Amino acid sequence: MQLLVLNGPNLNLLGTREPKIYGSTTLAQIEADCVAHGQTLGVSVSCAQSNHEGALIDHLHAARGTMAGVVLNAGAYTHTSVALRDAITASELSVVELHLSNTHARESFRHVSLIAPVCVGVIQGFGAAGYRLALSALHGHLNRP
């Protein structure tokens, strides 16, 4: 089984970008942890990041038929991108929406997710540990009898 961890805009700056909100763990550290956690689950984990909406959509299209599911931290595109929502639907993949921070404890414009309705679940507010939670939840979802 192969899973994709896909990160959106500004997440390449993790570790230095607003550490009081996003923590001090870098994206490289998160990706290495995801690969290692995947091994404990018996799955292969690939990681990708882009600051560009179209590139994220391309990753979802490419994952169709090759990946079993996706953990997606779409960043700000969560609240703005109908195109990303449509790509999730078109991919026919199980997708878990992930956020490092609790978006409901932040600005009101972050309270609405356009992608949540087409995802199998949402994990937020647990910092970098959320990625492990999301991978475990996705793995469990995909292995339900």
Active site residues: 22, 99
**Cα separation of 6 and 47, whole Å?**
6
Q: What order do you get walking across the sheet with 69-73 strand by strand?
A: 44-49, 2-7, 69-73, 94-99, 121-124
Is residue 57 within 8 A of residue 115, CB to CB? The reply is no
